């Protein structure tokens, strides 16, 4: 592949016509594209009052929502465009302008979903951000919109989808930092608005039993891993769990063999034990083996990019993504002359090698959320679906297929739960004394609030 121009910041260009059409299309898109046929909202009174206060000029508003699925932006749009507006009317409130939100979206989305998606997101009020570097244009835009924008600002403090309806990943400090910046800006300007941070939980559940579709997807994944599906097609959760464990072990063994024998990573004997491949993935050996394999795979790419391992696996994936983008979309000083044909050919060769190296990171990115305990702790159909879809993503990455369109396992219900706002102004004195500690404390509080909004799925 050839190098491309640098990735430019995509600023918000909110377009009322695009917003109006999107409002009309949203219910059909949720039903037919996402399979979401019902939306339940709890705690709507908190959001109605927060929006009333925002539009009355009494507060600024930051909505911090959980991000378990790629469908979350659509669920949030439904919450603001439909449910909030309806709830306001029921209380005799007519919001003007009609409720919507502005937001940040990952700059990588237009790269894998198409430029049209970047166009749509910006026309709906979104601004792009490169998550793994200090993206000053994005941060300045977010700060300006939080302080002066006509609409609430929304972001996902987890930073990316985690694939788990019932497990919260560690939050990034960006939401807390933006909230404190806004509170400080308001105070410094002598303005009297509050800075409200509203935690919003998102979960998805099946409306009808989906065990048949879950077992069918399990069969497809077993076939992809070279395993013979169970001819009995037993839908008992205990039997499905045994097969899921066996599948996880089989995929891990094949990946270990690939990296040990073909890529020549130094896997120790402890990371590749001989024995029965069907042993349970929740035993202590599975987690360390998986972590060790992913660590070594990332080290291979880091060495190629001249980076040192630092942070969690997710942090390292982000840094590698940014390093790859810097190679694929290099910024050339305007004063430099055009490259010679030979120099351009070498740059294109580097781009080819970079894309190949990033494949290893993408596989780790897909597999990093898989564990041996999530389903075992609570073998519900929702947790089975979460894990199988993550394994499906991983197999798609390995086989070179697109993972954009996941299998539909059944009609679903979105559950949106809204907590009472965190008044950030009350913490501003702590922030001025010790910014890092105050940001961490607010992040921890937000994490606790979002964790409490998670409702365990029912068992069969």
Tell how strand 412-418 and strand 194-206 pair up. Answer: antiparallel
For residue 439, which phi and psi values (nearest 5 degrees)?
-65, -45
Assess if residue 222 is contained within a domain.
yes
Based on the fold, state whether residues 291 and 423 are members of the same structural domain. no
Based on the fold, state whether residues 340 and 415 are members of the same structural domain. no
Mean pLDDT of 342-369: 89
Number of domains in the chain: 2
What CATH number does the domain containing 75 carry?
Answer: 3.40.1130.10
Based on the fold, state whether residues 291 and 268 are members of the same structural domain. yes
Assess if residue 11 is contained within a domain.
no
- Contact call for residues 37 and 412 (beta carbons, < 8 A): yes
What span, in angstroms and rounded, lies between the C-alpha atoms of 448 and 176? 13
Strands (E), 31-178: 36-42, 59-65, 102-106, 126-129, 153-155
Based on the fold, state whether residues 202 and 219 are members of the same structural domain. no
For residue 56, which phi and psi values (nearest 5 degrees)?
-80, 0
For residue 448, which phi and psi values (nearest 5 degrees)?
-65, -45
Under DSSP, the state recorded for 340 is P
Confidence of residue 334 (pLDDT cuts 50, 70, 90): low
Based on the fold, state whether residues 242 and 269 are members of the same structural domain. yes
For residue 400, which phi and psi values (nearest 5 degrees)?
80, 20
Q: State residue 224's pLDDT score.
A: 95
- Contact call for residues 201 and 453 (beta carbons, < 8 A): yes
Interval 408-433: pLDDT, tens: 999 999 999 999 999 999 999 999 99
Return the SS3 of 128. Answer: strand
Mean pLDDT of 174-194: 97
Among 118, 110, 131, 98, smallest CA distance to 13 is for 118
- Contact call for residues 20 and 374 (beta carbons, < 8 A): no
Based on the fold, state whether residues 38 and 138 are members of the same structural domain. yes
Supply angle C-alpha 340, 345, 346, rounded to 5: 100
- Contact call for residues 418 and 200 (beta carbons, < 8 A): yes
Bridge partners for 422 per DSSP = 197
Interval 256-278: pLDDT, tens: 999 999 988 887 654 444 444 44
Region for residue 444 given its phi and psi (left: phi exceeds 0; alpha: psi -120 to 50; beta: otherwise): alpha
Assess if residue 458 is contained within a domain.
no
Query: In the block, which residue shows the tokens 């949203």?
Result: 26
Q: State residue 404's pLDDT score.
A: 66
Decide if pLDDT at 324 tops 50. yes
What span, in angstroms and rounded, lies between the C-alpha atoms of 76 and 199? 12
Dihedral over Cα of 15, 21, 23, 27: its sign: negative
User: 248 is written with which tokens?
Assistant: 């996880």
Cβ contacts of 218 within 8 Å, gap of 6 or more: 229, 240, 243, 244, 247, 388
Based on the fold, state whether residues 149 and 272 are members of the same structural domain. no
* DSSP sequence for 389-438: HHHHHHHHHHHT---SSPPP-S-EEEEEEEPPPEEGGGGHHHHHH-HHHH
What span, in angstroms and rounded, lies between the C-alpha atoms of 112 and 302? 22
Among 170, 82, 160, 76, smallest CA distance to 416 is for 76
Confidence of residue 8 (pLDDT cuts 50, 70, 90): very high
Under DSSP, the state recorded for 207 is S
* End-of-domain residue from the set 399, 421, 441: 399
Q: State residue 276's pLDDT score.
A: 45
Based on the fold, state whether residues 151 and 227 are members of the same structural domain. no
Q: State residue 272's pLDDT score.
A: 47
Q: State residue 332's pLDDT score.
A: 73
Based on the fold, state whether residues 180 and 263 are members of the same structural domain. no
Higher pLDDT, 183 or 370: 183
Assess if residue 9 is contained within a domain.
no
Q: Is-cis flag, bond preceding 285, omega within 30?
A: no
Report the mean per-residue pLDDT for the chain: 91
**Cα-based distances in Å from 438 to 168, 229, 447:** 21, 52, 14
Assess if residue 287 is contained within a domain.
yes
**Burial tier of 143 (Cβ tally within 10 Å: 0-12, 13-18, 19+):** middle
What element of type H or E holds 201? strand 194-206
126: domain range?
Answer: 16-208+411-452
Write down the pTM of the prediction: 0.92
Q: State residue 193's pLDDT score.
A: 97
Percentage of the chain exceeding pLDDT 90: 78
Interval 360-381: pLDDT, tens: 998 898 877 776 689 999 999 9
For residue 153, which phi and psi values (nearest 5 degrees)?
-110, 140
Assess if residue 277 is contained within a domain.
yes
Assess if residue 5 is contained within a domain.
no
Decide if pLDDT at 59 tops 80. yes
Among 406, 369, 397, 112, smallest CA distance to 258 is for 397
Interval 115-139: pLDDT, tens: 999 999 999 999 999 988 889 999 9
Q: State residue 331's pLDDT score.
A: 80
Based on the fold, state whether residues 232 and 246 are members of the same structural domain. yes
Q: State residue 30's pLDDT score.
A: 95
Mean pLDDT of 104-113: 92
Q: State residue 38's pLDDT score.
A: 94
Based on the fold, state whether residues 371 and 428 are members of the same structural domain. no
């Amino acid at each position: 592949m050839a190098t491309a121009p640098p990735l430019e910041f995509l600023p918000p260009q909110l377009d009322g016509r695009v917003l109006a059409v999107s409002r009309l299309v949203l219910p059909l898109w949720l039903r037919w594209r996402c399979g979401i046929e019902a939306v339940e909202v709890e705690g709507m009174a908190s959001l109605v009052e927060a929006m009333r206060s925002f539009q009355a000029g009494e507060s600024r508003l930051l909505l911090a929502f959980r991000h378990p699925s790629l469908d979350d932006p659509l669920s949030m749009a439904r919450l603001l465009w439909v449910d909030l507006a309806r709830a306001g009317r029921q209380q005799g409130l007519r919001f003007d302008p009609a409720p919507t939100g502005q937001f940040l979206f990952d700059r990588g989305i237009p790269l894998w979903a198409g430029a049209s998606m970047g166009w749509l997101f910006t026309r709906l009020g979104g601004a792009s951000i490169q998550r793994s570097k200090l993206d000053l244009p994005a941060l300045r835009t977010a700060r300006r919109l939080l302080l002066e924008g006509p609409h609430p600002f929304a972001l996902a403090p987890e930073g990316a989808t985690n694939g788990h309806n019932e497990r919260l990943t560690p939050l990034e400090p960006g939401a807390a930092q933006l909230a404190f910046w806004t509170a400080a800006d308001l105070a410094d300007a002598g303005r009297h608005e509050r800075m409200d941070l509203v935690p919003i939980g998102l979960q998805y559940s099946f409306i009808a039993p989906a065990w048949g579709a879950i077992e069918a997807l399990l069969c497809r994944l077993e076939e992809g891993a070279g395993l013979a599906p169970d001819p009995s097609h037993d839908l008992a959760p205990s039997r499905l769990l045994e097969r899921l464990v066996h599948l996880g072990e089989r995929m891990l063994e094949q990946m270990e063999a690939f990296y040990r024998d073909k890529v020549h990573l130094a896997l120790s004997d402890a990371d590749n034990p001989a024995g029965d491949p069907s042993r349970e993935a929740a035993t202590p050996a599975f987690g360390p083996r998986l972590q060790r394999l992913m660590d070594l795979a990332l080290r291979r790419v880091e060495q190629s990019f001249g980076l040192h391992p630092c942070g969690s696996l997710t942090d390292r994936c982000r840094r590698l993504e940014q390093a790859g983008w810097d190679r694929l979309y290099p910024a050339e000083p305007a004063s430099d002359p055009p490259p010679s044909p030979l120099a351009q050919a070498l740059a294109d060769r580097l781009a080819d090698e970079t894309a190949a190296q990033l494949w290893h990171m993408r596989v780790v990115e897909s597999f990093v959320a898989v564990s041996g305990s999530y389903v075992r702790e609570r073998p519900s159909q929702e947790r089975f679906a979460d894990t199988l879809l993550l394994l499906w993503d991983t197999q798609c990455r390995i086989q070179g297929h697109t993972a954009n369109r996941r299998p539909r396992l059944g009609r679903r219900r979105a559950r949106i739960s809204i907590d009472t706002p965190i008044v950030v102004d009350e913490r501003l004195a702590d922030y001025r004394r010790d910014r890092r500690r105050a940001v961490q404390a607010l992040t921890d509080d937000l994490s606790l609030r979002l964790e409490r909004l998670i409702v365990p799925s029912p068992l069969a």
